[in-house]
Amino acid sequence: MQCVRLHLRILAIVALMFPVSVLAESNATAGPAAISARWSDVIGTSPTTPTLQVVVNPMLRPKSPISHRAFQALHRLGANDVRFVPWLPYPQLAVAELKPPADGKTFWNFKLIDPMVRDFMRATSGHPVIMNFSTIPEWLYETPKPVAWPANPNQVFWGYEQGTQLRKHSLKKVADYYARLVSWYTKGGFRDEYGHWHASGYHYHFAWWEVLNEVDSEHHTNVQTYTRLYDAITAAIHKVSPQTKFVALALAAPSNDLAWFKYFLNPRNHAPGTPLDMISYHFYASPAPTDKPATWPHIFFSKAKEFLNTVRKIQAIRQKLSPQTQTDIDEIGSILPFDTAPKLARPIPNMYWNLSGAMYAYLFAHMARQGIQIAGESQLIGYPSQFPSVSMVNWTTGVPNARFRVLELLHDNFGPGDRIITTHVIAPGVFAQAFVTPAGVRKILVINKRNQSARLNLPATQGATEQWVDQHTAEHPPAQKILPSNSLHLGGLGVAVITLNTKR
């Protein structure tokens, strides 16, 4: 789930960082365009899993015209560590106890939530998942009056999240709410506030539970309050699901305040025994409303470079304070201006989907070099009024778009354990990174950062296989062919994987 409203607000105030030179990309214009790899020079081993997030909205409900096809695509992908996020604009689809218990009666209700959880768990069966029911019931916060919500569960409602202070003695109640929610899905049910048993019959395994979402904006939470919430919630969940590990923070704007990481990653600021398994944070690139599409490639990749500088700083803090803690950058994407309008102000150009996919591939490669464990693209379904430019499927048909196809290409070729090879590029606007898989297969990821074709010479690749996504493949699966020569032609904003026909 992304708090894209915050993202759009902060675009104008985020400071520019100095770009970092990258070995495997070039803006050079002199000399023949070429890629070379020094296969004996291993600069590291990738820990990075390419994956995505699934954000709950009405298009995921069983009667949606596209949910079945979208979940089918998710199942076929077979990704690990997919993130599932029910969230605040749809209270009835996200909060299991919308009213406080009173007079011996409780108001737990999973009828609208369970069908989407079941579909998600079926689609990801056999793979670890990251669960994040991100919205705390509002009756646990101090508000001027009880918060109402629409009777229609499909009606978007941005007014549910209110209050900045938890009610007195509510810290334990928040922790108990999440413990019961986890018990519902992993232990077959739970006992409510009055000791009554509520049976579910579910016995899912949740490998990861992410504690809240974008806490640097929601409820105006500070790091001290969040840390207390995290400690209480993780302790309560561990009592019912001791095998579950935890993801923390999920920050919307990590570059704005690195003090969050310095405080949270210091074990001294936590209750004894609190696990610090993994942290998470987000990144979206956006143009200004006045920027023309022709300028978007430069803007997106420039912002991606700035973000990688932030990643480098956070990694240094993590390494110093809690080196065993892993990192999940679990919302990676792009957002066009005015994306929350009920109707699109103008059509999204087709090149945008390839641009966003190419930027994700670029960040994936750099995250592998920086030791990031999970790179999660955002998000499976978006549609007009619900961030259409963030969608990874066509919201009218459910067919995967080019953003999904790039993830598919990466998932099928790269993953943890790949050796990262020194790679050189002499070609304007082209990035490349060579890998050797654990099975010894040599592969080169090539990304065209410009919206014009590129032709490159490759290192001894005659007879190699090329798989690619470009503006011609569009919503179709990645194309594939045998390269007839050591030359590669890559369309504008294309992403290709070259698999050499030798093993080393």
Q: What is the pTM of this model?
A: 0.94
pLDDT greater than 50 at residue 15:
no
| % of the chain surpassing 90 pLDDT | 88
How many beta carbons lie within 10 A of that of residue 111, not counting itself?
Answer: 9
238: left (phi over 0), alpha (psi -120 to 50) or beta: alpha
Q: How far apart are CA 20 and CA 245, in angstroms?
A: 34
State the pLDDT at residue 6: 45
Domain of residue 490, CATH code: 2.60.40.1180
Overall average pLDDT of the 23-30 stretch: 52
Cα–Cα distances (Å) from 180 to 96, 108, 187, 188, 291, in that order, read: 10, 10, 9, 11, 48
pLDDT greater than 50 at residue 16:
no
Cα–Cα distances (Å) from 225 to 232, 239, 373, 430, in that order, read: 11, 22, 27, 44
State the pLDDT at residue 104: 96
pLDDT greater than 50 at residue 414:
yes
State the pLDDT at residue 345: 81
Burial code of 356-378, b = ≥16 C-beta within 10 A, e = fewer? bbbbbbbbbbbbbbbbbbbbbbb
pLDDT greater than 80 at residue 265:
yes
Question: Do the domain assignments include residue 39?
Answer: no
User: Considering its fold, how many domains does the chain have in total?
Assistant: 2
DSSP 65-113: TTHHHHHHHHHHHT-SSEEEE--TT-HHHH-SB-S--BTTB--B--TTT
State the pLDDT at residue 504: 53
State the pLDDT at residue 24: 61
Last residue of a domain, one of 416, 431, 457: 416
Question: Do the domain assignments include residue 428?
Answer: yes
Q: Which residues make Cβ contacts (< 8 Å) with residue 347, sequence separation at least 6?
A: none
Cα–Cα distances (Å) from 107 to 103, 177, 187, 193, 269, in that order, read: 11, 12, 20, 10, 35
Same structural domain, 454 and 395: no
Same structural domain, 286 and 254: yes
Question: Do the domain assignments include residue 42?
Answer: no
pLDDT greater than 50 at residue 253:
yes
**Spatial CA neighbour of 396 closest among 381, 416, 377:** 381
Bond from prior residue into 379 cis (ω within 30 degrees of 0): yes
Same structural domain, 54 and 126: yes
Contact between residue 39 and residue 434 where contact means Cβ atoms under 8 Å apart:
yes
- 71: pLDDT confidence band, cut at 50, 70 and 90? very high
Same structural domain, 11 and 119: yes
Question: Do the domain assignments include residue 478?
Answer: yes
Q: How far apart are CA 230 and CA 264, in angstroms?
A: 10
pLDDT greater than 70 at residue 408:
yes
Same structural domain, 402 and 431: no
- 339: pLDDT confidence band, cut at 50, 70 and 90? confident
- 8: pLDDT confidence band, cut at 50, 70 and 90? very low
Overall average pLDDT of the 236-261 stretch: 97
Contact between residue 351 and residue 396 where contact means Cβ atoms under 8 Å apart:
no
Residues pairing with 131 in the sheet: 84, 209
C-alpha 127: how far from chain center: 16
Question: Do the domain assignments include residue 41?
Answer: no
pLDDT greater than 80 at residue 10:
no
Same structural domain, 339 and 454: no
Q: Which residues make Cβ contacts (< 8 Å) with residue 426, sequence separation at least 6?
A: 26, 28, 31, 32, 33, 34, 35
Domain of residue 65 covers: 4-31+48-416
Question: Do the domain assignments include residue 313?
Answer: yes
State the pLDDT at residue 21: 32
Overall average pLDDT of the 155-173 stretch: 95
Amino acid at 284: Y
Cα–Cα distances (Å) from 332 to 53, 285, 407, in that order, read: 9, 9, 11
pLDDT tens-digit map of 274-329: 999 999 999 999 999 999 999 999 999 999 999 999 999 999 999 999 999 999 99
State the pLDDT at residue 23: 46
Same structural domain, 259 and 330: yes
State the pLDDT at residue 22: 38
pLDDT tens-digit map of 452-501: 999 999 987 778 999 999 999 999 999 999 999 889 999 999 999 999 97
Same structural domain, 93 and 190: yes
Same structural domain, 221 and 346: yes
Same structural domain, 432 and 378: no
State the pLDDT at residue 197: 98
Question: Do the domain assignments include residue 40?
Answer: no
Same structural domain, 318 and 384: yes
pLDDT greater than 70 at residue 215:
yes
Question: Do the domain assignments include residue 246?
Answer: yes
State the pLDDT at residue 11: 38
Q: How far apart are CA 265 and CA 273, in angstroms?
A: 14
Contact between residue 391 and residue 24 where contact means Cβ atoms under 8 Å apart:
no
Domain of residue 245, CATH code: 3.20.20.80
Last residue of a domain, one of 416, 434, 464: 416
Last residue of a domain, one of 365, 387, 416: 416
pLDDT tens-digit map of 426-437: 999 999 999 999
Q: How far apart are CA 16 and CA 19, in angstroms?
A: 9
Q: What is the mean pLDDT of the chain?
A: 93
Same structural domain, 243 and 354: yes
Overall average pLDDT of the 14-43 stretch: 62
pLDDT tens-digit map of 74-132: 999 999 999 999 999 999 999 999 999 999 999 999 999 999 999 999 999 999 999 99
